[in-house]
Amino acid sequence: MSDVRVAGVGLTHFGSSPERTSRDLFAEASTKAFADSGVPRTDVESVCYGNFMGEISEHQGHQGPLMAEAAGVRAPATRYEAACASSGVAVRDAVRAIRNGEHDVVLVGGAERMTNLGTAGATEALAIAADDLWEVRAGMTFPGAYALMAQAYFETFGGEREDLAHVAVKNHENALPNEKAQYQRAIEVSDVLEAPLVATPLGLYDACPISDGASAVVLTSEAYAEEHDLEAPVAITGTGQGGDRMALQDREHLARSPAAREAGEEAYADAGVRAGDVDFAEVHDCFTIAEVLAIEALDLEPVGEGISAARDGRTTADGETPINLSGGLKAKGHPVGATGASQIAEVASLLAGDHPNSEFVEDATTAVAHNAGGTVASATVHVLEVVA
């Protein structure tokens, strides 16, 4: 089974560019990834692409072939959709195809155009990631759903809004040097607490923004990387996916994410590592509470204790296990279909020493990327390691 190397990564700026199509965004990201990798486009054998709401925001399905075209690649292309974990599942399939020996070079990534819908339109479009019959028609949107999860967490394990505020403050701080980030500005705990409430207990600064953007990663087999003398020191060594019931009402516990736990356990086992080996992680912080649930599901914090991790400095850049050094979805932005592959890009850059925040993880060898869909009815986890 071949090792899967990260040969190059490319990201657009995440933010508001309502006039740019997803193909335009993906063309930029993939061009950067090819330049970073040194791999010629003509060597690409497959394109695995994540997109969530193209049918609604651009009247455009069947984006696989369009994105191959945008990337200047002549190869079969598939679009994967798992809500906000769309490019997370795309990465999984790319890893499979290389491990199988089917392909030596796969372009994986994602894009999303959202801001052209406006905030209300985008929120409505995002709701198609929930159960239309049992949640959406009852008025549920994602801020409301994650607010319920936060309330359940507080009731079960304790915690308060101020704990969550520290997650937002940390991730904004991390985004300061990240030129790709939507928000390169520091915020204070008081800013978070004084921001308008969106759905109690979550306020405006507990939520990630609506974003446009794209991500691209060139993955190769170990053999290809060595034969072509690529600078590709980081490998994806573990992949996992978990699933859960779609609607919150059917979950056993609103303050747990079993899909993420399963994905993590599978990825750790696949890579032959344990949670204790993880030096840092990018996790899916669409809301501040989501980061807390994620680090507990990944066993980076004991259940019920993740709430204090940011406040107590365990997950800050200079903490024991930095979380979301990129700024996370919260401050870097969340162009839905792009997010999963962008986490792979950030983790690989951090491990390779190419990231503005690499200084915080200089001796790191093992890191994790966690991508979630909906209220974590879908989750993927990938383990990345320095192997060369």
Distance CA 330, CA 318 (A): 19
Contacts (Cβ under 8 Å, ≥6 apart) of 63:
22, 23, 49, 51, 54, 79, 111
- Nearest to a second copy of 37, 46 (CB atom): 46
Query: Which two structure tokens, joined as six digits, stand for 139?
Result: 């008025």
Distance CA 133, CA 179 (A): 40
CB of residue 21 vs a second copy: minimum separation in angstroms?
A: 7
CB of residue 61 vs a second copy: minimum separation in angstroms?
A: 4
Q: Which of 160, 142, 155, 146 is nearest to 307 (CA)?
A: 160
Q: How many CB atoms lie within 10 A of CB 118?
A: 12
| Residues between 322 and 381 with contacts to a second copy, criterion CB under 8 A | 373-374, 377-378
Measured N-to-C along each axis, helices 22-37 and 63-70 cross at an angle, to the nearest 10 degrees, of: 50
Q: Which of 10, 13, 6, 92 is nearest to 48 (CA)?
A: 92
Strand-strand pairing, 213-221 and 4-11 = antiparallel
Q: Does 262 bind a second copy (CB under 8 A)?
A: yes
Q: Which of 132, 194, 227, 320 binds a second copy (CB under 8 A)?
A: 132
Query: Which two structure tokens, joined as six digits, stand for 275?
Result: 């949670």
Q: Does 59 bind a second copy (CB under 8 A)?
A: yes
Q: Does 221 bind a second copy (CB under 8 A)?
A: no
Number of residues located near a second copy, criterion CB under 8 A: 57
DSSP summary character for residue 15 = B
Q: Does 60 bind a second copy (CB under 8 A)?
A: yes
- Nearest to a second copy of 5, 170 (CB atom): 5
Q: Which of 16, 38, 41, 99 binds a second copy (CB under 8 A)?
A: 99
CB of residue 227 vs a second copy: minimum separation in angstroms?
A: 22
Distance CA 321, CA 278 (A): 8
CB of residue 33 vs a second copy: minimum separation in angstroms?
A: 19
Catalytic residue, chosen from 103, 166, 284, 334, is 334
Cite the active site residues.
84, 334
Interacting residues toward a second copy by CB under 8 A: 1, 21, 46-47, 52-53, 55-56, 58-62, 64-66, 68-69, 74-83, 89, 92-93, 96-97, 99-100, 102, 128-133, 136, 241-246, 250, 259, 262-263, 373-374, 377-378
